[in-house]
Amino acid sequence: MPRETVHYGRDYAAVTVRETKTHGREHGEYVYETGTEEAKKAIATGDLRAENVRFDTKPHLDVLWSRPIDRMSLPVGEDPRGSVQVQVAMSPQSMQARIDHIADHPEDLEHYAAVFTEPLTRPQINHLIRTLKRARDAAYGTDE
């Protein structure tokens, strides 16, 4: 089954800032993202604690397709038609972070059920369109 990656997820660091009290005010825990290299430098200099940093990768966008198979070479029960699939894949670390979050905050299930890539650039969208057309033609034949 051919597969083409349209958008590679970028590496990043999720930094957890623990709950604090300063000047008589409470500040709840929160997480922010920064670049991988910046986080590594901050850990090396002692500006960040390693246990508060999770390194990860944003989701990838892939297009997969299969060509039709002639009925003579087709395994029993298999569909002879081609197929096209779009995959948004996240890292195991991201999936576990979502599972952990939902375990603590089940009210967020609907929001956390959606997985997105980062915003696509115009060239990436054009690449996606070209790839989908190529996959469609290989799986189902040409329309024109």
The one-letter code for the residue type at 55 is F
Domain that holds residue 126: 3-140
- Using an 8 Å Cβ cutoff, are 11 and 57 in contact? yes
Q: Based on the structure, what is the number of domains in the chain?
A: 1
* Global confidence as pTM: 0.73
Alpha helices in 72-108 (DSSP H): 92-104
Task: Give the tens place of pLDDT for each residue, 39-95.
Answer: 999 999 999 999 999 999 999 999 998 887 765 565 665 566 788 999 999 999 999
Where does the chain have alpha helices with state H?
36-45, 92-104, 109-112, 122-140
Q: Contact, 58 vs 12, CB < 8 A?
A: yes
User: Does the pLDDT value for residue 107 go beyond 70?
Assistant: yes
* Average model confidence (pLDDT) across the chain: 89
